[in-house]
Structure 1
Amino acid sequence: MLRTIRDYVDFQAAERPDAIYLIAPEPDLSMTFAGLRKSSRELARFLLGQGIRKGDKVAMLMHNGFQTCRLFIGVMYGGFCATPLNLLAHPSQLEYVLNHSDARIVFVAPDQLERLSVALANVTRDIQIVLCDVDAQEFIPVSDGSVELPPVGEEDDALMMYTSGTTGKPKGVVLANRSVVSGGQYVSAAHELGVQDRVLAILPLYHINAQIVTATSPLVHGGSLVLPHRFRVSGFWGLVAQNQCTWINVVPTMISYLLNGADPAGNGLDLSRVRFCRSASAPLPPSQHRAFEDAFRIGVIETMGLTETAAPCFTNPLDPSQRKIGSPGRAFGNDVKIVNGEGRALASGEAGEIMVRGRNVMKGYYKSPEETARTLTAEGWLHTGDLGYLDPDGFVFVTGRIKELIIKGGENIAPREIDEALLKHPAVLEAAVVGVPDEHYGQELMACIVFKPGERCTEDELRSFCRNELGAYKTPRSFRFVDELPKGPSGKVQRLKLLSMEGIPA
């Protein structure tokens, strides 16, 4: 049985050595499964030659590219723990992660070297720095081929990802080979992916969604990925058509921008090979879900996962007739239950905290046993921190985050409900609602709005619109018009940062 990243690389290289695994369109480079195995072995021997040992953390500060993907897979293949660094992180956060992670070596793109140097200024531990051009064809010196690689087991650490840390210091989520491989298996099985499938991998490889869904799952099912440097509305559909992609993996923010971009049919692009669009990492507003399907004639499969679950834990079915808009689907590969504040399991339709259990769930938080104990039960159940309920068919409906719940006059209000109402307004591109202090109600509602290009409206118009959609009680008291909303690398809005923008303690 295949249980580790190394198992899958070796298997695919033996079964389909000349099949393409990776396409990097900007430098026009590609790599076969045999090439992936060869480069992974060379990287492992290079790291061993640098004094890096099995289980050591190997950090990467690089945007998407040919070498970024090779490094990500190769580090795990060698028995080391890949630790990608968030390119959006402030230098102080990078400094914390580099200190906390015990990383022994950092691969860095030239354009990130200055940021890394600032972050390392107060790190007293010696950390090796290796410059790496993401578009280079080769960069690892050929090492002694006789060097034996350490064995790798399914419980060995493969990946450590740091959470966004919007309410405190980032936490290092430790994922074993078991977790990473299971995530790739669940994606492949849920979407019935095979050797003929090719995904446009547009999300950054320093985010769990891209790492598992678009890098690991093709390794599991023998498919391939197209990895451009970054998401661009203007070139998106061209990449899909030119590379004959059969599925695309996006986040709701991208769907929103694609809806306001050019019509691919008008440019003569053939998208007939695309089987589906997968959306994850943040809730997809039903209005945008329907608009995307109407505009592009591509069905959307909404899913949900966490860093702590190696991405996927819920997914809508592949059959369009069985999907439910507004839900990230049913548990796939996981157990799920809804519990109240005392931990008692709730019946269908009753709202509480969503909990999941499965082989993809993390080992724990690095160097944080107390936080791990609060998050993982002895029976392996993970507290997700998400609020929601199960319908009679087992579909999960997410109503919000526990820490984001707004309590106005004693009534719980899920901000997502108000977001979705505001997104129905023709001038609104993005919306995010947060609770702000109020002397009468405890909390009141503030909505932050990003307008569509060329569109505008007044506060009074939005207030009237909300009253019609939601009633007076759930209508925001105040509106802020902003150029953009603060987001994490997955495109998920970081609501609590909206409060700091207003000078309000989170």
Structure 2
Amino acid sequence: MLAFARLSKRSFSSKLSYMHYVGRTPLVHRNVGQQLDIAVEKYGNREAIVSRDEGKRLTFNTLRDQVDRLAVGFVKIGLERGDRVGIWAPNYLHWYLTMLAASRAGLVSVGINPAFQGPEVLYCLNKVGIKALVAPETFKSQNYYNILETIDPNLKSCDPGRIKSDKFPSLRSLIIDSKTNHSGAFTFDDLLGMSSDVESVQKNLSTIQPDFPCNIQFTSGTTGSPKAAVLTHNNIVNNGLVIGQRNEYENQIVCNQNPLFHVFGVIISIMACVSKGATLVLPTAGYNPEQTLKTIVEEKCTMIHGTPTMYVDLIKKQQELKLPMDTVKIAVTGGAPCPPTLYEDIKKVFGLERVKTIYGLTETTCCIFQSLPKESEDHMKTTVGHLHDHVEVKIVDDKGDMVPFGERGELMVRGYCNMYEYFGDEDKTKEVKQKDGWLKTGDQFVLREDGYGVIVGRLKEMVIRGGENIFPKEIEDFLSLHPDIVEVNVIGVPDERMGEELCAFIRLKEGSSLDSEALKKYCKGKIAHFKIPKHIRIVDAFPKTASGKVQKFKLREIYDKS
């Protein structure tokens, strides 16, 4: 009944696959900072964030105080409205605080994958003109300060807030979350202690328009160069509100496994929890299934967030540990397609009431399809959820004409959720965002008359490895720099745990040799670990069309036979 209750009249005027789901409540027009104020008023003494690795816990009241002190600190070091603040870090408390503080100061937060190496982070810094960068001192094998110093050794001779570098010309301030002072950098505590004048943040909050940019997400494209999707306060607040309502976040204690730099972390985990006063629990700074399970028990978590790959690992570890899962009732999965058997396993192993699915893109502020509060097992297993509130979709063929319900085609989206633009990339923006407001997803999709959607495949060559989006050309361009490689093509191949893995097909120079271990050694420290191909196949030639294009589907056939 609910699925049909608020569909627009136009949805019933044709059997063509167009639909507009109006939703139960109207859109709001407020910024992220104002949404936090509402949460403080309603849930002030409730815990907002728990960082288990750091042993830190903040209520909504203390959270806002910390956020506003940090916002004042950003202004004190010279940041102005619209400036970009990079967050190059795993799931530490300073990530969460920085994202919200930037929003309340009128700045734009930029999430950077903590696994990125020097060339990758340098690209991010310069692509969007990051003026301040927040990072921990170290995480695992990463020493963030040393990586930047390697890019430009002159960093050590700069004063804090006065960085001048030809390598990263926009960067002025580096903020390291450490008790140790580093040359040319502030400590995170420095910024928190610069002023107690938090009233100034509140005074300026009403001047931050909801349509202003708020967050930038890096997302690769078919060219292999990461694009920077700009999301507004309006995008983030409203998507978070709908997610919070659909996922029944009220009074939940949410254990989040996902990286905060991803749109899943920013919208589904941070913003949706804020919108409904849910407690967000970070079990570890990095991914660790055993610690996640122990955190669920010790914190009495009622909800889990994760990608399908994470749930595969979590199930395996739970079957080994057999911990009591008495409090957790709901699991939310997204980031990659989830097989029906995995849904069943998640529900059975953890004794859950519901497993919820989401589907969306970075360019659509995360969710555009999502489970309804109450739906059948069939809906849960065979679809990616119901169309989101206040969103229009249609399915078109390769000519741009709508196809009937139930037929496959490319999914197009229009609504408040669509990104503002790709930063500094007008041509790329026009490729996906049309003048009439429709955004091309590049995904092959089926829309049902009941408002539920089914993803069929990807029109692009993107590989989804454990929830990470990887585009082969970026890897191909990198591997082609190897002195022994003449030609390389990368494809995604099935993997039981990760969903997909990378396989590099390589043609070598005559007399050269290369194996998987040697290739991984070459890649280490130069590209993120998840971009390093797991498999390698040496070939004498590539199957090509008459026009010289490599037929990648034949490479998949070669892999299947090997």
Residues 1:116 and 2:172 are matched in the alignment: no
- CA shift in 2, pair 1:448/1:43, >3 Å: same
Aligned to 1:206: 261
Residues 1:231 and 2:287 are matched in the alignment: yes
**Superposed CA offset, 1:444-465 (max 9, x none):** 998745577xxxxxxxxxxxxx
What aligned pairs does 1:377-392 form with structure 2 within 5 A after superposition?
Answer: 377-392=434-449
- CA shift in 2, pair 1:138/1:242, >3 Å: farther
- CA shift in 2, pair 1:393/1:234, >3 Å: same
2:108 and 2:215 in contact (8 A); partners too: yes
Aligned to 1:52: 79
1:337 shift after superposition: 1.1
**Superposed CA offset, 1:193-248 (max 9, x none):** 21x11111211111110111111111111111001312212222221121121211
User: Which whole-Å CA distance do the structure 2 matches of 1:213 and 1:178 have between them?
Assistant: 15
1:76 shift after superposition: 1.1
User: Which whole-Å CA distance do the structure 1 matches of 2:210 and 2:108 have between them?
Assistant: 13
- CA shift in 2, pair 1:446/1:107, >3 Å: closer
User: Which whole-Å CA distance do the structure 1 matches of 2:177 and 2:45 have between them?
Assistant: 26
User: Which whole-Å CA distance do the structure 2 matches of 1:207 and 1:277 have between them?
Assistant: 18
Residue 80 of structure 1 aligns to which amino acid in structure 2?
L
User: Which whole-Å CA distance do the structure 2 matches of 1:125 and 1:446 have between them?
Assistant: 36
1:138 shift after superposition: 4.8
* Moved segments of 4+, more than 6 Å: 134-137, 444-447, 496-506
1:369 shift after superposition: 1.1
- Three-state SS of the structure 1 residue aligned to 2:382 is coil
- CA shift in 2, pair 1:449/1:386, >3 Å: closer
The TM-score with structure 1 as length reference comes to 0.78
User: Which of 64, 76, 85 does residue 91 from structure 2 map onto?
Assistant: 64
User: Which whole-Å CA distance do the structure 2 matches of 1:222 and 1:118 have between them?
Assistant: 42
- CA shift in 2, pair 1:354/1:447, >3 Å: closer
User: Which of 339, 351, 357 does residue 302 from structure 1 map onto?
Assistant: 357
User: Which whole-Å CA distance do the structure 2 matches of 1:445 and 1:88 have between them?
Assistant: 21
2:222 and 2:461 in contact (8 A); partners too: no
User: Which whole-Å CA distance do the structure 2 matches of 1:499 and 1:165 have between them?
Assistant: 23
1:144 shift after superposition: 5.4
Unaligned stretches of 5+ residues in structure 1: 406-414, 420-431, 435-443, 453-479
User: Which whole-Å CA distance do the structure 2 matches of 1:91 and 1:137 have between them?
Assistant: 22
Residues 1:128 and 2:183 are matched in the alignment: no
User: Which whole-Å CA distance do the structure 2 matches of 1:134 and 1:156 have between them?
Assistant: 35
1:265 shift after superposition: 7.6
What aligned pairs does 1:252-331 form with structure 2 within 5 A after superposition?
Answer: 252-263=308-319, 266-267=322-323, 269=324, 271-298=325-352, 299-321=354-376, 323-331=379-387
What aligned pairs does 1:97-496 form with structure 2 within 5 A after superposition?
Answer: 97-111=124-138, 112-119=144-151, 122-133=167-178, 138=189, 140-143=192-195, 145=197, 148-149=200-201, 150=204, 151-165=207-221, 167-194=223-250, 196-228=251-283, 229-263=285-319, 266-267=322-323, 269=324, 271-298=325-352, 299-321=354-376, 323-333=379-389, 334-404=391-461, 448=493, 450=495
1:127 shift after superposition: 2.7
1:62 and 1:134 in contact (8 A); partners too: no
- Three-state SS of the structure 2 residue aligned to 1:3 is coil
Unaligned stretches of 5+ residues in structure 2: 1-27, 139-143, 154-166, 181-186, 473-488, 498-515, 543-549, 553-562
Residue 398 of structure 2 aligns to which amino acid in structure 1?
G
- CA shift in 2, pair 1:69/1:146, >3 Å: closer
Residue 302 of structure 1 aligns to which amino acid in structure 2?
T
**Superposed CA offset, 1:310-329 (max 9, x none):** 11111122324262413211
1:64 and 1:134 in contact (8 A); partners too: no
Residue 214 of structure 2 aligns to which amino acid in structure 1?
A
2:91 and 2:259 in contact (8 A); partners too: yes
**Superposed CA offset, 1:317-363 (max 9, x none):** 23242624132112112222111112111111111111112212210
Aligned to 2:63: 36
Aligned to 2:54: 27
1:377 shift after superposition: 1.7
Residue 72 of structure 2 aligns to which amino acid in structure 1?
R
User: Which whole-Å CA distance do the structure 2 matches of 1:120 and 1:308 have between them?
Assistant: 33
User: Which whole-Å CA distance do the structure 1 matches of 2:199 and 2:179 have between them?
Assistant: 26
Residue 279 of structure 1 aligns to which amino acid in structure 2?
T
1:186 and 1:312 in contact (8 A); partners too: no
1:159 and 1:174 in contact (8 A); partners too: yes
Residue 233 of structure 1 aligns to which amino acid in structure 2?
P
- CA shift in 2, pair 1:100/1:15, >3 Å: same
1:264 shift after superposition: 7.6
Residue 409 of structure 2 aligns to which amino acid in structure 1?
G
User: Which whole-Å CA distance do the structure 2 matches of 1:166 and 1:345 have between them?
Assistant: 24
User: Which whole-Å CA distance do the structure 1 matches of 2:151 and 2:438 have between them?
Assistant: 36
**Superposed CA offset, 1:260-311 (max 9, x none):** 22338833x2x23322111001111222222222322223212112111111
Residue 221 of structure 1 aligns to which amino acid in structure 2?
K
User: Which whole-Å CA distance do the structure 2 matches of 1:380 and 1:31 have between them?
Assistant: 40
- CA shift in 2, pair 1:305/1:170, >3 Å: same
1:165 shift after superposition: 4.8
User: Which whole-Å CA distance do the structure 2 matches of 1:133 and 1:379 have between them?
Assistant: 48
1:497 shift after superposition: 6.4
**Superposed CA offset, 1:75-114 (max 9, x none):** 1121100011112234222111111111111111111222
Residue 64 of structure 1 aligns to which amino acid in structure 2?
N
Aligned to 1:474: none
2:406 and 2:448 in contact (8 A); partners too: yes
Kindly tell me the number of residue pairs found equivalent between the two proteins: 438
User: Which whole-Å CA distance do the structure 2 matches of 1:498 and 1:363 have between them?
Assistant: 36
1:94 and 1:119 in contact (8 A); partners too: no
1:17 and 1:33 in contact (8 A); partners too: yes
User: Which whole-Å CA distance do the structure 1 matches of 2:179 and 2:328 have between them?
Assistant: 28
1:39 shift after superposition: 1.5
